[in-house]
Structure 1
């Protein structure tokens, strides 16, 4: 818990414990010891975590780790995974209510119901709205005072969706826009302001994912499916990751931009989403650290002159 290369400069970190993908986690479940070690590391980067789902007891294990390590200011956005399967959605929502019955609101900052369901077209906007309304009503009946949100691509937010949540959470990735690393911080700010802050009215607005892969190719955006050269567009790499962080992290800390960095640790299981035929092999390489919690060689997390995040 005393790694000189880690600095508590991120207002939030996106986190998925290893071995929590359903149904594989039923036979190869997550380890409490592993999650506790993750928490020891994550506590040196942030005081707020965002989870994506509830399967295989992951949320309770995270809370247990926080309590055991006495991380008194660490809080969690309770994640509820939604897809196109009613059984999955019902299981996740049921788990959420059980967790809130057990722990109350205290360990949590809010409830994030669904991630990129509109982007994947797993649910329609109307279906998602119905679920969000139901969750808000149930929390009110349970006298649980937590904001309800959903996260989706920054380009998918509109006034109607914003009206159905307490917090607008937008995933904003300059890498997938084909933006060079030296322009990524400015692009992220402008895109977020124009597409998400603009429709949020007076509601709280958070960038729920922003980051940069440490390797795996380059991306030239949706209008150019295959980059003409290996150095065109957004290049995945350590130096590019460092450049984006150097221009984003400390400035965001200074001006109070609320965001979740994607992400602390690599997720090796995501290799299934790589497309080697197109030279796109970055899905499992978004971590500042590898799966064993080692800071990747060359990665430099800014120290922001010793300034650290405070409780939001």
Structure 2
């Protein structure tokens, strides 16, 4: 079984505290029991090694100095004078693929699910093509699951293209342990092949607590199971560190859910939390979307975190709820805007209007982009735009579910103008 699960649509979406905050569909439904074998082949690359010969004769030294100056100038010209700031898209190297002038590296992060990930048919060629585009928009990707070789495919593409990108890997949590164990093993394969340097964190679960009632589960049971998975993965990283020469406990482990009181259930065990806030599902128009999401995080979510629950263990240390944690390790998990976006179409016309009367459409997305991206970059909001591409498989759910991408499913940029501003 793949680990993606659908999260609901515009008709049946959960409401918390009177506002719609559930995700707009960034995860997927279990659709297949097939598994893709782990892909290990990678392109052989050679590095250019310069041998500098030193000579005692002054004229030779002078020639070498002149040559060095020319080469240095050429490199600066090729890199566009980039000084290594956080929104560089290519690690100071000239990309080996043509750049699209319509794309700007302006997004703090983008939520991404490769085409074919749902039924384990994602290919390296398609993922690499995606990374060519996405690396021109952001330096961070949020992934939702680790099965079907997704993490390795993405990291392989990043390595092959020499672009400045990292990922928040994901483990999609189900009520059974089998899927979790499989994803842990596949992440281990990714670490073994590429090391952990491209992994900014591992997000265990996405809206698992929010969706408990739709599974016939209770909030209490779902919370207990999710906390156990988070702690188990921290313990796994600790064990992995003890059996290798790499410190995997430096990888932050977090979770993701919609805003609500149960966020506090995750605070004691999480290094970070992705909070999914979608104005589409709320009583807010597209003109109000950016302000609603920012103010909801600032005025509802953050103040709602119980400061007495901030004593969490260091990354990689497993605890139980009764375990004593040294005061020196107490800290508040970092909160991110886990998903934010606006749909551009609908498969069911009655569902193409949100509760506030705003349409799903290109002009509406453009307004939301303009209101959100640059202001968020300036005020330091850490967010993931939802989503990279439209996802046709979600048509089975109707409504706006498949229409959240900046790009159409075929990789064509939608008729929007990407804001142009730096991000951290």
The TM-score with structure 2 as length reference comes to 0.64
Please name the residue that 1:70 is paired with: 162
Deviation at 1:218, TM superposition (A): 1.3
CA 1:294–1:128 in structure 2 vs 1: closer, same or farther (change >3 Å)? same
- Once the two structures are superposed, residues 225-247 of structure 1 have per-residue CA deviations (whole angstroms, 9 ceiling, x without a partner) of xxxxxxx4342111111111111
Q: Pick from 257, 269, 294 the counterpart of residue 381 of structure 2.
A: 257
Asked if residue 219 in structure 1 is aligned to residue 354 in structure 2, the reply is yes
Q: Report the more deviating stretch, 253-262 or 99-108.
A: 99-108
Deviation at 1:156, TM superposition (A): 5.3
What is the rounded CA distance, in whole Å, between the counterparts of 2:132 and 2:383 in structure 1?
21
What is the rounded CA distance, in whole Å, between the counterparts of 2:419 and 2:101 in structure 1?
11
CA 1:272–1:51 in structure 2 vs 1: closer, same or farther (change >3 Å)? same
Q: Pick from 180, 200, 204 the counterpart of residue 89 of structure 1.
A: 180
Asked if residue 303 in structure 1 is aligned to residue 395 in structure 2, the reply is no
- Once the two structures are superposed, residues 270-309 of structure 1 have per-residue CA deviations (whole angstroms, 9 ceiling, x without a partner) of 11121xxxxxx21000001101211112x122113xxx22
Asked if residue 7 in structure 1 is aligned to residue 112 in structure 2, the reply is no
CA 1:152–1:128 in structure 2 vs 1: closer, same or farther (change >3 Å)? same
- Unaligned regions of 5+ residues in structure 1, if any? 221-231, 275-280
Q: How does 1:181-196 map to 2 (within 5 A)?
A: 181-196=286-301
Deviation at 1:157, TM superposition (A): 4.3
CA 1:31–1:89 in structure 2 vs 1: closer, same or farther (change >3 Å)? same
What is the rounded CA distance, in whole Å, between the counterparts of 1:63 and 1:158 in structure 2?
30
What is the rounded CA distance, in whole Å, between the counterparts of 1:103 and 1:126 in structure 2?
33
What is the rounded CA distance, in whole Å, between the counterparts of 2:292 and 2:227 in structure 1?
29
What is the rounded CA distance, in whole Å, between the counterparts of 2:364 and 2:186 in structure 1?
39
CA 1:30–1:158 in structure 2 vs 1: closer, same or farther (change >3 Å)? closer
What is the rounded CA distance, in whole Å, between the counterparts of 1:215 and 1:255 in structure 2?
30
Q: Contact 2:209/2:262 (CA < 8 Å) preserved in 1?
A: no
Asked if residue 127 in structure 1 is aligned to residue 225 in structure 2, the reply is yes
Q: Pick from 237, 247, 252 the counterpart of residue 147 of structure 1.
A: 252
RMSD, aligned α-carbons: 1.7
- Once the two structures are superposed, residues 182-235 of structure 1 have per-residue CA deviations (whole angstroms, 9 ceiling, x without a partner) of 111111011112333221753211111111001120121xxxxxxxxxxx4342
- Once the two structures are superposed, residues 153-180 of structure 1 have per-residue CA deviations (whole angstroms, 9 ceiling, x without a partner) of 1235432311110001111101111310
- Once the two structures are superposed, residues 55-101 of structure 1 have per-residue CA deviations (whole angstroms, 9 ceiling, x without a partner) of 22111111111011001x21011111112233222212222233334
SS in 2 for 1:33: helix
Q: Contact 1:208/1:259 (CA < 8 Å) preserved in 2?
A: yes
What is the rounded CA distance, in whole Å, between the counterparts of 2:388 and 2:145 in structure 1?
17
Deviation at 1:151, TM superposition (A): 0.7
The TM-score with structure 1 as length reference comes to 0.86
Asked if residue 205 in structure 1 is aligned to residue 319 in structure 2, the reply is no
SS in 2 for 1:38: helix
CA 1:195–1:140 in structure 2 vs 1: closer, same or farther (change >3 Å)? farther
What is the rounded CA distance, in whole Å, between the counterparts of 1:240 and 1:246 in structure 2?
10
Q: Report the more deviating stretch, 285-294 or 93-102.
A: 93-102
Q: Pick from 273, 284, 298 the counterpart of residue 168 of structure 1.
A: 273
Q: How does 1:19-34 map to 2 (within 5 A)?
A: 19-21=116-118, 24-25=119-120, 29-34=121-126
Q: Contact 1:10/1:309 (CA < 8 Å) preserved in 2?
A: yes
Q: Contact 2:127/2:157 (CA < 8 Å) preserved in 1?
A: yes
Please name the residue that 2:411 is paired with: 293
What is the rounded CA distance, in whole Å, between the counterparts of 1:186 and 1:164 in structure 2?
30
What is the rounded CA distance, in whole Å, between the counterparts of 2:99 and 2:193 in structure 1?
32
Q: Contact 1:166/1:204 (CA < 8 Å) preserved in 2?
A: yes
Please name the residue that 2:318 is paired with: none
What is the rounded CA distance, in whole Å, between the counterparts of 1:40 and 1:91 in structure 2?
29
Please name the residue that 1:273 is paired with: 397
Deviation at 1:148, TM superposition (A): 0.5
- Unaligned regions of 5+ residues in structure 2, if any? 1-97, 216-220, 242-246, 308-331, 347-351
